[in-house]
Amino acid sequence: MNILDLSHIKKSFGQNDVLKDISFKVDEGEVVSIIGPSGSGKSTLLRIATFLETMDDGSLSYLGHPYVTSQNGQAVYADKKALHQAMSNFGLVFQNFNLFPHFNVLENITDAPIRIQKRNKEEVYAQARELLSKMGLSDKEKAYPSQLSGGQQQRVSIARALALKPKILFFDEPTSALDPELTLEILKVIKELAAEKMTMVIVTHEMTFARDVSTRIVFMDQGVIVEETSPEKMFSSTNERTKAFLGKYH
Ligand code: ADP
Ligand code: MG
């Protein structure tokens, strides 16, 4: 089943053409890593997929439902109600955790499921505690983000994203604010989710991790997808740009 279908996406900031006709699809059960130099448009692509940024032209659908269509060379967005519905399909984990500082751990996780998804409180709390246990954070439910390490905060934000029961989870450089030890802790959590067949898109500079966890790797450079293929093929690519980029990590 197709989860996300982004087609012919164009995005400019002023004169800067950041995404140049990008098409990107994700099927159920895929783990797709997006790699590429800084400024190549990776975050913008994720932000467009999650409605944090608008595209200029292109189309977008989740689970076969169109939410953005291209009409006369322009992206036309569905109404607010439909976009709200679209947003229930995904979770998003950022580099800087983005937890609510004035909410404790449990409140951070349960707020959106209760307030936005309007789910039963008991059920949401039970699920939140289960997720915290899975993340090894059962003793932290009353803690505030400032009382947690970066790795713990990131595990809370993963739990928060999972609490929404998303069909797909997006990560934008989830470990780049963490030291190496805490990075491993987060990569392990993502690997466990992959083993459970969670559909994920991960922007990362962790190349060994990307090779291990991904079903497909997408290499972006200067607003285009240069190459997308299996980890094995990506790491033995003969494409000059790919080789030059990956060479920096050896
Ligand atoms: P990456 O995540 O691959 O590092 P980004 O998507 O963050 O790349 O950025 C791609 C390009 O778009 C960069 O040149 C960046 O400066 C520019 N850019 C991103 N967001 C904005 C914005 N809100 N306003 C203007 N330029 C932006
Ligand atoms: Mg980025």
Q: What is the distance between the alpha carbons of residues 234 and 2, in angstroms, rounded to a whole number?
A: 23
CA 200 – ligand 2 centroid, Å: 17
Interhelix angle 121-134/150-163, rounded to 10 degrees, is 140
pLDDT value, residue 168:
98
- Compute the C-alpha angle 151/157/162, nearest 5°: 125
Q: What confidence score (pLDDT) does residue 43 get?
A: 97
The amino acid sitting at 233 is: K
Protein residue whose Cα sits closest to atom 1 of ligand 1? 39
3-state secondary structure (DSSP) of residue 220: strand
pTM of the model: 0.95
Q: Which residues of 218-246 are buried (b: 16+ CB within 10 A; e: fewer)?
A: bbbbebbbbbbbebeebbebeeebbeebb
Instruction: Provide mean pLDDT across the span 104-123.
Output: 96
Ligand 1 binding pocket includes 13 (Cβ within 6 Å): yes
Residue 225 Cα, ligand 1 centroid: separation in angstroms? 16
pLDDT of residue 120 exceeding 80, the answer is: yes
Q: Is 204 in the pocket of ligand 1 (CB under 6 A)?
A: no
Domain boundaries, the chain: 2-248
Residue-wise pLDDT for 228-248, tens only, equals: 999 999 999 999 999 999 998
42 lines ligand 1 (CB under 6 A): yes
Q: What is the CATH number of domain 2-248?
A: 3.40.50.300
Q: How far is the CA of 43 from the centre of ligand 1 (A)?
A: 7
